[in-house]
Amino acid sequence: MSATTEKFAKASIPSVNADIQLKDIIKTLPRECFQKDRRKAWSFLFINVLAVSLGYVGIATLPWFLLPLAWIFTGTALTGFFVLAHDCGHRSFAKRRWVNDWVGHIMTLPLIYPFHCWRILHDRHHLHTNKLLIDNAWDPWTLEDYTQTNPFVRRFYQALRGRFWWLGSIAHWAVLHFDLSQFPERDRAKVKVSIASVVIFAAVFFPTLIATTGIWGFVKFWLLPWLVYHFWMSTFTLVHHTAPNIQFRPAETWSAAEAQLAGTVHCTYPRWVEFLCHDINVHVPHHICVAIPSYNLRMAHESLKQNWGSHIQESKFSWALMKEIGDRCHLYHPEKAYQSFKDIQR
The per-residue pLDDT for range 285-329, each reduced to its tens digit, is: 999 999 999 999 999 999 999 999 999 999 999 999 999 999 999
Burial of 39 (0-12, 13-18, 19+ CB in 10 A): exposed
Please report the pLDDT score of residue 5 as a whole number: 44
The yes-or-no verdict on residue 3 having pLDDT over 60 is no
Query: Is the dihedral angle over the CA atoms 274, 278, 280, 286 positive or is it negative?
Result: positive
- Average pLDDT of the chain is 94
pTM for the whole thing? 0.94
Residue 279 backbone phi and psi in degrees, to 5: 60, 35
Percent of the chain residues past pLDDT 70, beyond the cut: 96
pLDDT for 107-127, tens place per residue?
A: 999 999 999 999 999 999 999
Q: Is 16 left (phi over 0), alpha (psi -120 to 50) or beta?
A: beta
331 touches 148 (CB < 8 A) = no
The yes-or-no verdict on residue 346 having pLDDT over 80 is no
Please report the pLDDT score of residue 18 as a whole number: 77
Please report the pLDDT score of residue 12 as a whole number: 59
Coil vs helix vs strand at 244: coil
Q: For residue 328, which of 11, 85, 113 has the smallest C-alpha distance?
A: 11
CA separation for the pair 133, 140 (Å, rounded):
8
CA separation for the pair 92, 55 (Å, rounded):
27
Q: For residue 244, which of 166, 333, 168 has the smallest C-alpha distance?
A: 333
The yes-or-no verdict on residue 7 having pLDDT over 60 is no
Percent of the chain residues past pLDDT 90, beyond the cut: 93
Pairing state of beta strands 265-268 and 313-316?
A: parallel
Please report the pLDDT score of residue 15 as a whole number: 74
218-236: average pLDDT: 98
Taking the alpha carbons at both ends of the chain, their separation in whole angstroms is 18
